[in-house]
Amino acid sequence: MNSRSLPCSQAEIGSLFLFEKLAPDQLARLCREGRVEEFEPGPVYGEGEAATCFYVLLEGTLVLSRRIGDYDVEVNRTSSRGVYAGAFQSYLGDRLRQVYNSSLRVTEPSRFFVLPAETFAAIMREWFPMAVHLLEGLFFGTKSAQEAVGQRERLLALGSLSAGLTHELNNPAAAAVRATSALRERVAGMRHKLGTIAAGPYRRDSLETLVDVQERTAERVAKALTLSPLEASDREDAVSDWLEDHGIGDGWQLAPTFAQTGLDTDWLDQIAAVVDRDTLEGAVRWLNYTVETELLMNEIEESTTRISALVTAAKQYSQLDRAPYQVADVHELLDSTLLMVSAKIGPHITVVKDYDRSLPKIPAHPGELNQVWTNLIDNAVSAMNSTGADGTLTVRTAREGDHLLVEFQDTGPGVPVEIRDRVFDPFFTTKPVGEGTGLGLDISWRIIVNKHRGDLRFHSVPGDTRFQVRLPLASAEPPAPEEPS
């Protein structure tokens, strides 16, 4: 920073709109406790540095910028006398983290009236006590209101996700209960058949062979390939004919189970070769119980695995058992979020995952990124549902330089041109009353831009809307405390 001090003129600072109502003794105090500085083109202060001064432009051109990822994004450029920047919230004291919220630079030799932050705060409290109380109330009241509504937004999302999770858990749990009940019946039937076989005229070697066939049957069930409908029908007919030819009644009831698990007439021939014709039917029905038992155990395993996967996804989504800031796999976060909101997505929307699995893990706040994914997916689903037609949600990841891109593309009607400048504004929503708070995209923007130093933007035409999140692949320093709303 290259600057030089200049004399302070009460007449000059008194001509600024900020100070035009001040008395001569007040202007004299400003000149006495403040200073005028001229800066050469270049930076004046940087975003995130301790806010030590309040700056008022007297002459020249200033540029304010915000750091987004690896880029400085210009937010204001002006030559208007009297514009101010810097520690203009120092009157809030230690109740607010006093850092510069943006970077300030000048593009030509520029003069500023500069007041130390402590002096600015003291003068505000001394000269304008009522205004300070009003400003404090406005600042913290607005902040509290946004936090309260943001909390409500999170609770609404949690309620919706809980309902969806309950629905998703209920299906495999009910299937496991049904399969367990049926399994109990099959095991009881198997015990009965085993007793019948034990009392029958079986030779010892025949029983040993039959037990061996039973073991191989269980193995074949576990490795059974899925048949096409035509293949399954042909096999059922062949097995049914075999059972009928061998005098086994109601063979048509056994044939579908055998065919489903890959057991064919060759397998039945092995059974017939080791038992007498009089005991063949008992042996076949006993092995049928074996097949049904294996199928039911497979169903229970699949159901409980599904329940375990849902619980794991819920933990991954909520991040309850993990550190708030960590190195995370974005694809795991996306998958857990998609699973959690699957009930809300519904059957009319096809989800396509276009992931670049070679992408590395990134330093992030996973729980908050999941909140962003939820908001963006919810908006995409709502947009597509509004058309009444089937839609496609495409979730894509890719590498863009030093950033990781996460894109949510939907086939909805698009964002109307007249509201595109407002979609990230707090409390702005196009949803019906009671269905949205208007904070989803505002919260998402704060999480991505303020907390992760990333970027959130969108492109939209009818039938193709893409919300794009860009996150830094690496973090050079620990995350800073979140800026106040």
Lowest mean pLDDT of 99-103, 301-305, 388-392, name the range: 301-305
pLDDT in tens, 80-111: 999 988 887 777 777 777 888 889 999 999 99
Q: What is the mean pLDDT of residues 287-294?
A: 80
Pick the CATH number of 326-472 from 3.90.1300.10, 3.40.50.300, 3.30.565.10, 1.20.1250.20: 3.30.565.10
pLDDT in tens, 346-375: 788 999 999 999 999 998 888 889 889 988
pLDDT over threshold 50, residue 38? yes
Query: How far apart are alpha carbons 436 and 428 in whole angstroms?
Result: 9
Maximum CA pair distance of the chain?
Answer: 122
Phi, psi of 321 (to 5 degrees): -105, 20
Q: Which long-range contacts (CB under 8 A, 24 or more apart) does 224-229 make?
A: 224/260, 224/261, 224/262, 225/262, 227/259, 227/260, 227/262
- Whole-model pTM: value is 0.47
Q: What is the pLDDT of residue 478?
A: 41
**Three-state DSSP class for 321?**
coil
Phi, psi of 110 (to 5 degrees): -135, 145
First to last CA, the chain: 30
Given a contact cutoff of 8 angstroms between Cβ atoms, the answer to whether 459 and 453 are in contact is no
Q: What is the pLDDT of residue 435?
A: 47
Q: What is the pLDDT of residue 359?
A: 93
Domain boundaries, the chain: 3-127, 161-309, 326-472
Burial 79-117, CB ≥16 within 10 A → b, else e: eebebbbbbebbbbeeebebbbbbbbbbeeebbbbbbbb
- Which residues are CB-neighbours of 230 under 8 A, at least 6 positions away? none
Q: How far is CA 149 from the centre of its chain?
A: 20
Query: How far apart are alpha carbons 332 and 343 in whole angstroms?
Result: 19
Closest CA to 93 of 132, 130, 147: 132
pLDDT over threshold 80, residue 70? no
Superfamily in which the 3-127 domain is placed by CATH = Jelly Rolls (2.60.120.10)
Residue scoring higher pLDDT (391 or 195): 391
pLDDT over threshold 50, residue 156? yes
Report the chain's mean pLDDT, rounded to a whole number: 79
Query: How far apart are alpha carbons 460 and 470 in whole angstroms?
Result: 17
Q: What is the mean pLDDT of residues 394-403?
A: 93
**Three-state DSSP class for 45?**
strand
